[in-house]
Amino acid sequence: MRLAFISFLFMFISCTNDPHLVSELFEDKKLPIEIIEKSNLIHTENGLIKLEIIANKIERFIDDSPRLLFSEGFEVIFYDNSSNIISTLKAKNADVDEVNSIMRASNSVVLSNKTKKLETEYLIWDEKKDKIYTENDVIITTEKEKIYAKGFSSDPNFNDYTLKKISGKMYISDLD
């Protein structure tokens, strides 16, 4: 009986629930509230598919600035009103600001449609402004030429685009 009482007393005294100690464990660690692996997300408007996101890993954070982190590669597929693929955006990583609907894609970023391909290391997609842009180096490849520039702006369909500071142009026939 004494042993049980002493054991109980020892456990009661040794256990503590100090909020400061508990908060120290998680204070600097901003952990995701959700982790999704091997996902396929489809966004529709009025019953029509507008875009599809295929991602290897998505982490959702809801701290001061709610955001999604895409890692290990992802692809965004843009569709027209007839469910035809218009363009695709691929990269290894991205950070999505959920409040402002802005995606910052990085690391081997490729934007392409049926006739053109853009390559860069960093690209911003502002969904509210319906605009994709970067101030970084870009290479645009078409059937006939390769264009090197610093700075790019386009609609997500990659149909109407503007280049800044063009530094070179090579015709594909010159490369053969």
User: What's the CATH number where 134 sits?
Assistant: 2.60.450.10
What is the residue type of 48? L
The whole-number average pLDDT for the span 3-16 is 54
Identify which has the larger pLDDT, 8 or 147: 147
CB atoms inside a 10 Å sphere around CB 55:
20
- Distance between CA 161 and CA 81 in Å, rounded? 21
Q: pTM for the complete prediction?
A: 0.77
Instruction: Show the tokens assigned to 68.
Output: 């999604």
**Average pLDDT score over the chain:** 86
- The SS3 assignment for 124 reads strand
pLDDT at res. 42: 94
Is 73 within the bounds of a domain?
yes
The whole-number average pLDDT for the span 48-57 is 95
Is 20 within the bounds of a domain?
no
| Percent of the chain clearing pLDDT 90 (strictly above) | 67
88: alpha, beta or left? (left if phi > 0; alpha if psi -120 to 50): beta
At 158, phi and psi to the nearest 5? 65, 35
Contact yes or no for 53/76 (Cβ under 8 A): yes
Q: How many domains are contained in the chain? A: 1
- Distance between CA 30 and CA 66 in Å, rounded? 12
Is 8 within the bounds of a domain?
no
Is 18 within the bounds of a domain?
no
Among 4-13, 68-77, 126-135, 138-147, the least confident range? 4-13
- Distance between CA 89 and CA 103 in Å, rounded? 11
What contacts 24+ positions apart, CB below 8 Å, involve 105-114? 111/87, 111/154, 111/158, 112/87, 112/88, 112/158, 113/86, 113/87, 113/88, 113/157, 113/158, 113/159
Is 7 within the bounds of a domain?
no
Q: How many CA atoms lie within 13 A of 9 on its CB side?
A: 6
Using 50, 70 and 90 to split pLDDT, how confident is the model at 21? low
How wide is the angle at C-alpha 52 spanned by C-alphas 70 and 65, nearest 5°?
A: 40
Is 25 within the bounds of a domain?
no
| Domain around 122 | 31-175
Longest dimension (CA), the chain: 95
Q: Whats the size of the chain, residue-wise? A: 176
Is 5 within the bounds of a domain?
no
Is 113 within the bounds of a domain?
yes
